[in-house]
A and B are shown apart, each in its own frame.
Chain A
Amino acid sequence: MTEPKWNLDLFSLECGTPFEGSFVKLVSASLGAVWSDVETALLSVRASPSFDGYLANYRGLPLIPVPLKEQLGIQGAVGNALFTAFSDAFRVCAQSAFQVPGGVFSVPARVGSDGQALAYAFEGVVNLALGLWCGNGDRNFQYRSVVHFCALEGLGDVVWGEEGGEVAPLALSFSEHGVRLASPGSEHFPVRLALSHVLIDDDFFNVLSGARAAGPETDAFLVARLRSCQRELCLLVDDWEHENALLAVEHTRLRQGLQKASSAQIEEAMRDILDRMGELRDSLSLWCLRTFTAVERMLGILPGVANSVDVEAERDALSGMLLAGVQKIHLPASVSRHRYHADTFEQLSRWCDERLARKPDDASTLLVRAALASGSGEAPDWARLEAALRGRTYEWSLDYDPSSALKACCWRLMPEVHLVFAAFYLVMVAKKLHPAAVGNFWLSTAASVVQMPESYPSSPRPPPAPAARTGKEKVGCPASLSGLLRLEVLTILARPENSGADSDCLTYLVQAFQALPSLESQSTGEVST
């Protein structure tokens, strides 16, 4: 067929600190060799008589008491076995990565930075594998439950290099979220390699790149693989929700424990908790979004490869599943007012780009992409938004409700720009509704979007988008467009069909949107009807 216009280098789709592909491969090979030891070590917890009872009541938090004697007995055995397996694997990688005869580093400076990259890849692959592992087919029997049962949290030792030596020391330590491999004493959230590298493996890649001929067998492979992608993404979203739920429970417990403390202490401690939760959420969201972005690209390539009804049906289900997953990512922000890290927003923009490349008429993503661009100081695609606004409603589609995404990134925007996006949101929803009454549900959603920026608490972090403040002329909405929007949105609110709606909400929205510049106050005469 035509030249492959798609780039399938999945690593290039990832924001944040990138993984080195060759290191990932190397690490997986050496980990694969020791994986049976890791598995044996994890399964050896069952030797402890109280483990079964523990597991039956275990829900992801270390709240169930374990007899201390038993715990200490098993802690050493399990911890040492895991530590030995991982550190052996890492040494094998490091030796073959740097081709050092006799284990002496000839070029310490190069090894220093590459050593960090290798450690990063190692951490990513180990944590991905540990995340996929469960014992005896019981999804409750996981690495996390082993860590909690044996109290392995924080244990670890130096595996590579030495203090003051030519190579900076790297320490391996355990935490409930995975294994850390970094400079000793590091408390960072363990990184994970995105699941997409496993879902889109060589076999799949051959199909996507056209190296494997199309035919019934290829279609059968695609149906099977798309179904397993659906399942793994469901599990990924489940993990995301599970970890968020654990955070929320922990947060509540800590807050209840603080009731007796003085208010200054409470504020200090709350800030600590929120910072820790924030770090967890940032890393988790980045991990999920990296996978989503890669899968989105894959979905875009598929129709050129196979066009059977069965593949199309599975692809459509996966596409809906993916959207639902992305919607979930916004919840910590739109519900708990979490301010995501810039990396997460960047990854989300890439996802939007992939989605728009696949579905150019998806106005929801167009709006979210514009809000993300504006937040990072780039110029949003006003022309495309305006075309959607002026076009017929069947020319674009509202594929999902973009309100939670708008809420998640509103704190990065200038208030007037946010108001423009909120107006867009209401106009788009209203245009798609039949009959013409907007209804209380959508009106109050729109009102909550408008109100959102002020509901964010003052930030413990500095606001990360200085470009948005300085590049005002770049991100500002063209006067003709905002005038048109004002006209549209006020017309919609004034429709007689909406007179039965909640009057407070209606009044609030009318007042808010009147702040948009009107057409009469502009000198540009290009706008019609």
Chain B
Amino acid sequence: MNGPDDAPKTSVKEKPVQTAGALLPRRRATSDIKLLRLDLLPRGVSPSEDIGYEWSPAQPTESLSPARAAESLGVEEWAPVSEVRKRFRALQLRYPPEQFSSRHIEWRPSAELLGNSRARLNWYWQSGLVPEFHTQKAPGASVMWNSQSCEPALTACEALRRLSRATT
């Protein structure tokens, strides 16, 4: 008697947001978690115009992760800001909000998160994860963001190599 609507119920379970190997948990401090705030609030929330004040009561913007946002917009998680905005504009023109408001409910916050480097950085910081940059794009496929231009995490070896090559 397994109806067709029984099966999805279990598989609809949310996918884990981070893919294995893409993210490393940051080392946790022994103190209270609130010390780990970066306080990169959007401008205009407090009279301070560039960043917010310490101990601000603001929370991370949405319960939305960059990975999920990228999936919903159909761009790469580390796509440059201009690419994200272009994609959102294309979606907006093709599927106007008055006809597909249900989609825009997901697209708009996704574009806000990925189209704003500050917001994305803040998301990583507040989630306690270290971002690892990655892309599937071959060097020819995109000029701005390809597998050649994304940098791996800085290691001791790389640091020594750079220092020993310095000309200044």
Residues of A bordering B, CB below 8 Å: 8-10, 21, 24-25, 28-29, 31-32, 35, 39, 59-61, 125, 128-130, 132-133, 137, 139-140, 193, 197-198, 201-202, 205, 216-217, 219-221, 223-225, 227-228, 230-232, 234-235, 237-238, 241-242, 244-246, 248-249, 308-310, 313-314, 316-317, 319-321, 323-324, 327, 331, 362, 364, 397-401, 403-404, 429, 432-433, 442
Contacts and interface: CB of A to CB of B under 8 A. Distances in A.
Contacts of B145: 220, 223-224
Shortest 10 CB-CB contacts between residues of A and residues of B: A317-B117, A399-B50, A28-B163, A245-B31, A432-B47, A28-B164, A201-B162, A310-B80, A29-B164, A401-B53
Contacts of A21: 166, 168
A400 B161 contact: no
A217 B143 contact: yes
Contacts of B164: 25, 28-29, 32
Contacts of B160: 28-29, 31-32, 35, 125, 129
Contact of A205 (B50, B143, B168): B168
Contact of A310 (B50, B82, B116): B82
Contact of A317 (B47, B82, B121, B159): B121
Contacts of A129: 156, 159-160
B140 to A, nearest CB: 12
Given A21-B166, A220-B146, A35 B157 contact: yes
Interface in B116-160: 116-118, 120-121, 124-125, 130-131, 133, 143-146, 149-151, 153-160
A399 B117 CA distance: 18
Give the one of A9, A39, A242 with max B CB within 10 A: A242
A286 to B, nearest CB: 19
6 contacts: A35-B160, A310-B144, A317-B120, A320-B50, A323-B50, A324-B40
A242 B36 CA distance: 9
Given A32-B160, A224-B133, A404 B54 contact: yes
B38 interface: yes
Contact of B151 (A130, A228, A313, A432): A228
B94 interface: no
A364 B48 contact: yes
B121 A230 contact: yes
Nearest to A205: B168
Given A139-B130, A401-B48, 12 more contacts: A9-B168, A24-B166, A60-B27, A61-B30, A202-B168, A313-B80, A313-B116, A321-B38, A327-B51, A331-B54, A401-B53, A432-B47
